[in-house]
Amino acid sequence: MQRKFMAWGAVLAMLAVGIGAFGAHLLKPVISEDYMKVYETGVQYHLVHALGVILIALAVGQWGESVRLRWAGRLLIAGTILFSGSLYVLSISGIKVLGAITPIGGVCFIIGWLCLAIEGFSRKTSS
């Protein structure tokens, strides 16, 4: 589980950098300023949650595997795809109905972070 989450986090971070560069260099002259802000929000959340997945991998190494850590990682990955992915497609296509998917990704983020917090608070030792 630790290696998989570390790998997923690294892949997500790499994609965030690539997608961010794509937006900054190729999309900026093509899409409106408002849609560029939406796109940049997607990149920001994408990168932060990629680092969150890496953090979960490190927590697994420190604390050991658990169901809550597994769900935390899965939910941050799913949240990244749903939240950031919907913002990318919305900003490029202008299809506003895609904005309805974004909150689902946000809920995944919240529950994923909650799983990590509960795991941390439930630990009996300081290790």
Q: What is the pLDDT of residue 83?
A: 98
- The confidence score (pLDDT) of residue 52 equals 98
Q: Match 């290696």 to its residue by tokens.
A: 3
- pLDDT tens string for the chain (127 positions)? 999 999 999 999 999 999 999 999 999 899 999 999 999 999 999 999 999 999 999 999 999 999 999 999 999 999 999 999 999 999 999 999 988 999 999 999 999 999 999 999 998 865 5
The DSSP secondary structure of 100-127, one letter per residue, reads GTHHHHHHHHHHHHHHHHHHHHH-SS--
**pTM metric for this prediction:** 0.94
Distance of CA 120 to the CA centre of its chain: 20
Query: For the chain, which residues make up each domain, given as ranges?
Result: 2-120
